[in-house]
A and B are shown apart, each in its own frame.
Chain A
Amino acid sequence: MQTTAVIGIGNILRQDDGIGIRVIEFLEAIGIPSYVKWIQGDIAGLDLIKYFEYNRVVIVDAAKMGVSPGTVKIFTPKDINSNGFKDAVSTHSIGLKETLRLAGSLKKIKNVKIVGIEPYSIEFGLEISEELQEKIPDICKQVIKLVLPELKQ
């Protein structure tokens, strides 16, 4: 039974913005462990809420965190300062932040962790920047660490 969802978010047309998807592609190819559902979330917003029902959710996304490019930070929705939220949502893609806020307000968040990756470049282009490309295996290791503890259960 799949009890964990790992979701990659981002737009693969904008270089490092697509890192979440690239990480999922990498991990999906490895194909373990079986209780994990790997999801290429692309630029989904609100549609992510349905995955929050999983016992454990890990979201991998490029994030502007004000740290040096390539830095990986793992945090929970509660660590994000909601004062910075704009009441600005669109039908197009209520972004991840708004989705987390909405889901949180509706008490639909159980166990969500976010793996944020500071991008090098978000210019138009299908390729991840070379610098970030090199870090993909390391990022994957960190994601796997987050989902592995369940093996002991």
Chain B
Amino acid sequence: MAEQVKKKDLNIFVEYLTRVEGHGHIKINMKDGKLEACYLNVIEAPRFFEAMVRGRSMFEVQHITSRICGICSTGHSLASIKATEDAIGFTPSVQTRKLRKLALHYETLDSHLLHVLFLVTPDVFGAESVFPMIQTHKDVILLALKMKKACSDLCDILMGRHTHPITLAVRGFTKIPGKKELEKSRELLGELEKDLAIVLGVVKLIKLPEFERETEYIALTHPDEYAFLDGNIASTDAKEIAPRDYLSFVHELNVEHSASKHSKNKRNSYMTGALARFNINHKKLPEKLLDIAKSLGLKAPCYNPFMNSIAQVIETAYCLYDAIEIIDGFLKNGIDQSEAVASWPSSLEKNKFTFKSGRGVGAVEVPRGILFHDYTVNAEGIIEKANCVIPTNQNLANIDMDLQKMVPEILHKTKEEITLQAEMLVRAYDPCISCSCHLLDVEFVD
């Protein structure tokens, strides 16, 4: 019973946060009932890639920026391409826009499914990670891998390969899928649709902690659709703004305890990602998805950050159904192969856009939230200055503030339970440390 008494002293230090890319730690320190430290620290790689793109043509940088992150490579490519198109005043065709939406949908599907099935379910089934689940819930693991392979194959078809897209280019696609490829894509999406029903069954078992903290939510918004690719930037606390004005929302600051910059706008923190998108854009979702959301306990506005995972499930369904609609449209109405573009613009295209010195901003919703690429180019199309703001950095302050509100509310729990819940909270945001190294660390069997 002693554990039921609210603690006055608490020291938690999770040195290596499992199931989160890269190294990070959670520190919670309470003395005499006073929270002295309570935060997440992640080590962000210096923004070296901004230096790497400097001096390069804006027509090639998407191949560099796509390497910033292994799972959001399409998002980084598209943010990069959109920044360039903004700089040269180019508007992509309707078909290109549809294909780009498909590309982003595939990436979001892939990422969300992996997050929910590989990271969230272990907490639900009381497993330390997916590995023990191979014994206890092999069906879930096999389902996750099957769906992941389908997403990977879809990306291969549309973007040449999965991890780092090669067909995405400024102005359009270097290769347009043909009829057979569209039919194969439709077949894969049909399989995913069937499997989604099983995922929803698994997700229904998820019991997330009850915790609420209202914050500012920021996401792209679009008058006609649930925004991923295009739109203005909306906030629950302020009037929407154009992507070019993103710095009037994203105020970055250094904090003592974190190696990464934090961001804030109207309050001391804001949230970006699936839950923010859901809170801002839920009215753009089809009724049947809102019903599923409701059945999973998600209703806008939702202030429980743990529900980010449920919002991801709803977005998974949205991306899947929208992808099917886009593919069905192409199968019915045909696809224009003549729209394929070369990687580099030819002299014949000169009248389609102008090279002039200036600035271009690309904003895209990637699985973890809103992503910005901001380039200043010269009259030759060479990048002179670049800025890239990733979603995880924007969420860091919000994670800290969630932890600082949550920990005092659960002091009746055991230290182990508090630790687990703090880890679960951080995992709900699925933080990413970009630009990490991918060395194989080998210790040989003796």
Contact = CB atoms under 8 A, between A and B. Distances in A.
Interface in B141-196: 141-142, 145, 148-149, 152-153, 161-164
Contact of B437 (A40, A91, A96, A122): A122
Interface in B67-108: 67-71
A124 B440 contact: no
A102 interface: yes
A47 B162 contact: yes
B178 to A, nearest CB: 21
Interface centre among A95, A122, A126 (most CB of B within 10 A): A95
A50 B188 CA distance: 15
A90 B145 CA distance: 15
B130 A102 contact: yes
A79 B446 CA distance: 8
A81 interface: yes
A42 B76 CA distance: 15
Contacts of B163: 41-44, 47
A92 B70 contact: yes
Nearest to A45: B70
Contact of A105 (B52, B134, B164, B439): B134
Contacts of A13: 48-49, 52, 64, 67-68, 435
A10 interface: yes
B21 A90 contact: yes
Contacts of A44: 70, 162-163
Nearest to B22: A90
B344 interface: no
A65 B439 CA distance: 10
Contact of B118 (A89, A105, A122): A89
Report which residue of A9, A45, A93 has the largest number of chain B beta carbons within 10 angstroms of its beta carbon. A93
Nearest to B135: A105
Contacts of B432: 90, 92
Contacts of A124: 45-46, 48-49, 52, 435
B441 interface: yes
Contacts, number: 162
Contacts of B52: 13, 124-126
Contacts of B35: none
A95 to B, nearest CB: 6
A14 B22 CA distance: 15
Interface stretch (B12-20, B198-206, B236-244, B329-337): B12-20
B430 interface: yes
A116 B70 contact: no
B19 A88 contact: yes
Nearest to A94: B118
A50 B141 contact: no
Contacts of B22: 90
A110 interface: no
A18 B242 CA distance: 37
Nearest to B441: A64
B440 A63 contact: yes
B29 interface: no
Contacts of A81: 443-446
The list of the 7 closest CB pairs from A to B, nearest first, reads A87-B129, A90-B21, A43-B70, A92-B21, A124-B48, A63-B440, A93-B70
Given A93-B438, A105-B134, 11 more contacts: A13-B68, A44-B162, A50-B149, A64-B441, A90-B21, A91-B119, A94-B118, A96-B440, A114-B440, A124-B52, A125-B52
10 contacts: A47-B152, A80-B443, A87-B129, A89-B130, A91-B118, A92-B69, A93-B70, A97-B441, A114-B440, A119-B439
